[in-house]
Amino acid sequence: MIAVRESISYAYLTQTLGLSNVAQMADPSFTLSRVPVDTAAFWPKAGPNGTIGLNVSPLIARYNNNQELRTETIKFIRDFVAKGLVFC
């Protein structure tokens, strides 16, 4: 049995490779119990409009035109910075 999180991985394994032993499941990190963590030492203080974190997955980058993804990501960040948001 192969357990995958992303729909693109599931589609690749089942449709492209024709595997039948594939199951899609939730990311295990979303099934864990919440544990409070003091983030004061490393997390930036929120600006007046909040803070946003951004993670562009290398897996998605491989399935997308890298230049297009890079351009869209840069535009996204610039739009948020122009609105006074803080990136971390």
Summary mean pLDDT of the chain: 83
More confident residue, 30 or 14: 14
Residue 40 identity: A
C-alpha distance from residue 7 to each of 1, 4, 44, 45, 61 (Å): 16, 8, 33, 34, 15
Q: pLDDT tens-digit profile of 17-54?
A: 999 999 999 888 888 898 898 988 887 776 666 677 77
Q: By the 8 A CB rule, do 88 and 44 touch?
A: yes
